[in-house]
Chains A and B, each alone.
Chain A
Amino acid sequence: MTWKQVFTSSVGKKLVMAFTGIFLILFLIVHAGLNACIWANDGGEMFNKGAHFMGANWVPRLLEIGLFAGLILHIIQGLMLEFSNRGKKAIGYAVSYSKGSKWYSRSMGLLGTLVLLFLVLHLYHFWLPNRSHQGFLLGEEINLYEKMKLEFSELWVVIVYAVGCLSLGYHLAHGFQSAFRTLGVHNKRYNVLITSIGYGFSIFIPLAFAMMPVSFYLGWIG
């Protein structure tokens, strides 16, 4: 059994989704934690310091490459699985079966695509202007706090971000616990724990993210 065989079987592809998914979950914690500095209400001083560490230090910048690699792997593998799975039932049912599973568990492809579309806009708002200003190396950054203030003064941007966070929340509500199941957690005691933490995580983290544009828009922070 070669590595290739292990990771390209139907179970192996799910393992790739689970490993990259958990990696992205860890990233969300770092991202939310750092961004929460906007609520220090110091005109963005603490937040910009944190952003500067992430953007102008070669260690996080190298990790950023890993982040993109994980993200792209998760997206491509996810889309391929979605299309492949959809093709396994040439003729569908006249009456569909929806009682046994949650709608968001059945809609991971759709929710993931919504998150991806949001992500494109999000990178266009912050990552791209900042990195191009740096010449994609370790050059000088833009004032990201001011940029946030600017972008989040538009109502439609705030709404799109809220919808993006909602999609992320539902994606995580299934994805968090599903990832651990795929990695083989079958013990009852851990399943209860992981499901509870998963639901908590999928509410708390997207809510924290959604409150950022809302806070700027409503003038809670200046």
Chain B
Amino acid sequence: MQHHEMNLNLKVWRQKNKDSKGEFKLYRVEKISTEMSFLEMFDVLNEQLIRDGDDPITFDHDCREGICGACSMYINGKPHGPWQANTTCQLHMRAFKDGDTIVVEPWRANSFPVIKDLMVDRSAFDRIIQAGGFISVNTGNAVDGNSLPVAKDDADASFAAAMCIGCGACVAACKNSSAMLFLSAKVSHLALLPQGHPERKTRVMNMVAQMDKEGFGACTNTGACEATCPKEISISNIARLNLEYLSAGLTADK
């Protein structure tokens, strides 16, 4: 692939801490390779800022290979930038043209408060998982894998839901800041497997209750989450979650 260099203008959200008022700042980066990742471009910018004695831009990242869900960034009006089924760390600079101005914002949702610059607090997701995103297994010898038959289609659908990396792009893209795509991926992942069945009812009820407590909005099925999800989690999972919730609610003991 032919590589060339380009100069870019960046309009980046800067915010000192959770309580301070943030603002956009303009930066210029030069000689950026088309084959760099978006985060590598930010590394170049940060080195430049450190050299100039400025505060480097804070952003989340970890694996940088699109599987951990740590990176965020709302780039030119889309979570994780312009490419489909892609994370910010796997977004490459060839997605942009020489002289482009790129606007970079943090995830916007009251439940994801900005910690600093582009880094937001996503611990609300952890608390939702703690409320029910697990199965309880007794200790002892591991059971034989083949003792629990799972239909192939169910296993595939469960795995597709389990692809969710919990990055929060769905919340960032949703006009209601709803966490339903994330929640539905976690609920579907376990509801489709026999191991998830014993705690099926309490799981969905507790996780929805925790989601509401965290202050996420209600889902209106617009589909924005599915369109931006780096792991292409299907919006049908939300419908499955609704069914799980409805049947748990209707068949509750008291």
Chain A residues near B (Cβ < 8 Å) = 1-2, 5-7, 9-15, 81, 84-102, 105-106, 108, 174, 177-178, 180-186, 188, 191
Whether the Cβ atoms of A14 and B242 lie closer than 8 Å is: yes
CB pair A11–B243 under 8 Å, yes or no, is no
Residues of B within 8 Å of A84, CB to CB, are 217-218
Check if B240 sits within 8 Å of A182, measured CB to CB.
Answer: no
CB interface residues, B 33-63, toward A, < 8 Å: none
Interface flag for B9 (CB, 8 Å): no
Query: How far is B235's CA from A15's CA once the two chains are assembled, in angstroms?
Result: 17
Q: Are B226 and A94 in contact (CB under 8 A)?
A: no
One of B78, B176, B240 near A186 (C-beta < 8 A): B240
Q: Which A residues are CB-close (under 8 A) to B254?
A: 2
Which 3 residue pairs of A and B lie closest in terms of their CB atoms, listed nearest first? A184-B243, A100-B227, A95-B77
CA distance A100 to B216 in the complex (A): 20
Structural contact, B220 and A85, CB atoms closer than 8 A = yes
CB distance from B103 to the nearest CB of A (A): 5
Q: Are B228 and A97 in contact (CB under 8 A)?
A: yes
Q: Give the residues from 196 to 224 in chain B that come closer than 8 angstroms, CB to CB, to chain A.
A: 205, 208-209, 211-212, 215-224
Q: A182 and B228: CB pair below 8 A?
A: no
User: A1–B242 Cα gap in the complex (Å)?
Assistant: 16
Residue of B nearest to A87 (CB): B110
Q: Among the listed A85, A95, A174, which residue makes an inter-chain contact with B103, where contact means beta carbons less than 8 Å apart?
A: A95
Report if A181-B109 is in contact (Cβ < 8 Å); known contacts: A10-B219, A93-B74, A100-B224: no
Closest to A90 in B: B110
14 interchain pairs, CB-CB under 8 A = A9-B212, A10-B219, A11-B218, A84-B217, A88-B215, A88-B216, A89-B177, A95-B76, A99-B77, A100-B78, A102-B223, A108-B220, A174-B221, A186-B239
Which chain A positions have C-beta within 8 A of B111?
Answer: 88
Closest residue on chain B to residue A14 by CB atoms: B218
Query: B76 and A10: CB pair below 8 A?
Result: no
B160 to chain A, nearest CB (A): 13
Q: Within the assembled complex, what's the spacing in Å between the Cα atoms of A182 and B178?
A: 14
CA A89 to CA B11, docked complex, whole Å: 21
Q: Are B220 and A100 in contact (CB-based, < 8 A)?
A: no
Q: Is the CB of A10 within 8 A of B212?
A: yes
Q: Which of B65-73, B90-98, B129-137, B244-252 contacts its partner?
A: B244-252
Which residue of chain A has its CB nearest to the CB of B15? A91
Decide: B242 and A184 in contact? CB cutoff 8 A: yes
Cβ–Cβ contact A10 & B222, under 8 A: no
**Residue among A86, A89, A177 facing the most chain B CB atoms (10 A cut-off):** A89
Contact flag A97-B224 (CB < 8 Å), given A1-B205, A9-B209: yes
Given A6-B252, A14-B218, A89-B110: A99 and B236 interface contact (C-beta under 8 Å): no
Q: How far is the CB of B81 from chain A (nearest CB, A)?
A: 12
Contact A92 B108 (CB under 8 A): yes
A11 near B227 with CB under 8 A, answer no
A178 touches which of B103, B108, B220, B224 (Cβ 8 Å) = B220
> Whole-angstrom distance from the CB of B215 to the nearest CB of chain A?
7
In the complex the two chains form, what is the Cα distance from A99 to B254 in whole Å?
Answer: 44
Chain A residues positioned under 8 Å from B250 (CB to CB): 6
Contact B236 A186 (CB under 8 A): yes
Given contacts A1-B205, A184-B239, contact A89 B219 (CB under 8 A): no
Which residues of A have CB within 8 Å of B240?
Answer: 184, 186
Asked whether A182 lies within 8 Å of B176 as measured between CB atoms, the reply is: no
**Please, which residues of chain A bring their CB within 8 A of the CB of B218?**
10-11, 13-14, 81, 84-85
Bound-state CA distance A12–B225 (Å) is 20
Tell me the bound Cα distance from A174 to B221 in angstroms: 8
Contacts of B221 in A (CB 8 A): 105, 174, 177-178, 181-182
User: Closest CB of chain A to B83's CB: distance in Å?
Assistant: 12
Q: Which A residue's beta carbon lies closest to that of B235? A: A181
Interface-central residue, B77, B176, B237, B241, by most chain A CB under 10 Å: B176
Task: Please name all residues of chain B whose beta carbon is closer than 8 Å to the beta carbon of A92 when the two chains form the complex.
Answer: 108
Q: Is B173 an interface residue (CB 8 A)?
A: yes
What residues of chain B lie closer than 8 Å to A12, measured between beta carbons?
Answer: 245, 249
In the complex, which residues of chain A have a beta carbon less than 8 angstroms from the beta carbon of B177? 85, 88-89
